[in-house]
Amino acid sequence: MAVREMLTGMPWWVKWIVVPVIAIVVFGGLIASVIAFVIGLLFKVLIFVILVGGIVFVVRKFMSSSSSRGDW
C-alpha cells in the first residue's frame, strides 16, 4: 500500500500538518545533525579561505618589500 493511497481519504490538515510534524519529531535529530555538519563544514571552509588569503597577502607583502630593498 502506497503512502498516496493511504492519505487519499484524509483531511487536508492531516496531510499538510500532522504528517510533517510527525516526520520532524521522528527524524528531528537526524535533520539537526545534518544541518550542524553542513554549517560546521562551511565554517571550516571559511576559516581555511581566510587563513590562506592571509598567508598569501603576507607573503606577497614580504616579497614586494624585500625585493624593493634589494636584500636578496
Q: How many helices (H) and strands (E) does the chain have?
A: 3, 0
d(CA 58, CA 69): 17
Q: What is the dihedral of CA 29, 32, 38, 43, to 10 degrees?
A: -120
pLDDT band at 69 (very low <50, low <70, confident <90, very high): low
pLDDT tens per residue across span 2-52: 878 888 889 999 999 999 999 999 999 999 999 999 999 999 999 999 999
